[in-house]
Amino acid sequence: MHELRCHPATPASRVRSIVAEWNDAAFTFWVDPIDSLLIPESKPPARTDELWRTTCFELFWKPVGSDGYVELNLSPSSCWAAYAFDGYRQGMRDLILPHDPIVERTTSGIRAALDLSDLRRPAHVALTAVIEETDGTKSYWSLAHPPGAPDFHHPDCFALKVPAVGNP
pLDDT per residue, tens digit, the chain (168 aa), is 899 999 999 999 999 999 998 877 788 999 998 888 898 888 899 999 999 999 999 999 999 999 999 999 999 999 999 999 999 999 999 999 888 899 988 888 899 988 888 888 899 999 999 999 999 999 999 999 999 999 999 999 999 999 887 555
User: Which string of b and e fits 35-69 if b means at least 16 CB within 10 Å?
Assistant: ebbebbeeeebebeeebbebbbbbbbbbbeeeeeb
Q: Could you tell me if 80 and 73 are in contact, meaning their C-beta atoms sit under 8 angstroms apart?
A: yes
What CA–CA distance (Å, rounded) separates 96 from 98?
A: 7
What count of other Cβ atoms lies within 10 Å of the Cβ of residue 100? 14
